[in-house]
Structure 1
Amino acid sequence: MSKSSKTLIVYFSFDDGANREVERLRREIEADIIKLEPVKPYPSEYTKRLAMIEREFQQGKLPQIKTTLPNLQKYREIYLGYPPVFGNRLPSIIHSFFSSFDLRGKTIIPFSEIVEEPLRATLCEMNELAKKYEVKLVNREV
């Protein structure tokens, strides 16, 4: 990680689909990168993965985060990448991220490797998290 960066990219992906967008973004903004990984990995087989995601939503369970994050106090901005699930929901691990770490006063900038429209559909849910955890949410123009 760069010692002088004030920006962090935190992202979650079910596969390696986000890697290209994350690397492009890292070069554009010169940021440190952390990939969120759950303690219990999601299945690689699509229908099993969807079933696990659905169970998380139905049971209201948030996955535990396996990833060790750096001291977030040194970062002002956090670009938060994720794939919308079921077209318009935040992955449960994004809720885990907000509830597990002190993000008060940070600026959160959501992004996705998927088309822009589904990301917009998640912004209402993201706004609720931003209010609850006292962060500033900024829409990133793609």
Structure 2
Amino acid sequence: MTKKLVAFFSASGVTARAARELAQAEGADLFEIVPEEPYTTADLDWRNRRSRSSLEERDRAIRPAVASHVDGMDAYDTVYVGFPIWWGHEPAIVDAFLESYDLSGKTVVPFATSGGSGASGANRSVVAACPGAHVEPARLVR
């Protein structure tokens, strides 16, 4: 029997709801990716080129600190990772989370929520963040 984890970052609660539903349907453990410095409404203002999320978008090397970590990540065979789509891909906090674990040999299943953008932009960056893992194509959840 495989052990599954649903890890998610949610800025507005939409991704959190989808993650809870997925975890229940899959019989998976649930983990919220929480930034050490929480995002404020001003941080999330995509129209402001100086907002935190806009700066992270322009500099894809930025990695915000994650406040907590999954205990026993080695025990999981499948890791679902959920996030909102920001500028066509996952937020930097998700990359920081993924890069903090050795996910080689695991199956990683990205899922995303979006008001209109597709999830395909996350495919390359999630694969890059999970060397040695089998990463399935990102799926959009509405």
TM-score bracket for the superposition, by shorter chain length: 0.7 to 0.9
User: Which piece of structure 1 moves more, 77-86 or 115-124?
Assistant: 115-124
Judge conservation of contact 1:5–1:30 (CA < 8 Å) in 2.
no
Query: Which residue is equivalent to 2:31?
Result: 34
Percent identical = 22
Judge conservation of contact 2:46–2:54 (CA < 8 Å) in 1.
no
Query: Which residue is equivalent to 2:100?
Result: 100
The number of aligned residues is: 136
Q: Which one has the bigger helix percentage? A: 1
Aligned letter for 2:98? F
Aligned letter for 1:52? R
Aligned letter for 2:25? E
Q: Which one has the bigger strand percentage? A: 2
Change (3 A) 1:108 1:56: same
Change (3 A) 1:48 1:54: closer
Q: Does 1:21 align with 2:18?
A: yes
Cα distance in 2 for partners of 1:135, 1:81 equals 16
Query: Which residue is equivalent to 1:90?
Result: 90
User: Which piece of structure 1 moves more, 88-97 or 112-121?
Assistant: 112-121
Q: Does 1:72 align with 2:69?
A: no
Displacement of 1:79: 0.3
TM-score, normalising length: structure 2? 0.82
Aligned letter for 1:10? A
Query: Which residue is equivalent to 2:118?
Result: 118
User: Which piece of structure 1 moves more, 27-36 or 39-48?
Assistant: 39-48
In structure 2, the residue corresponding to 1:109 is in which secondary structure? strand
Change (3 A) 1:49 1:6: farther
Q: C-alpha root-mean-square deviation of aligned residues, in Å?
A: 2.5
Judge conservation of contact 1:5–1:32 (CA < 8 Å) in 2.
no
In structure 2, the residue corresponding to 1:120 is in which secondary structure? coil
Cα distance in 1 for partners of 2:20, 2:90 equals 22
Structure 2 runs not aligned, ≥5 long: none
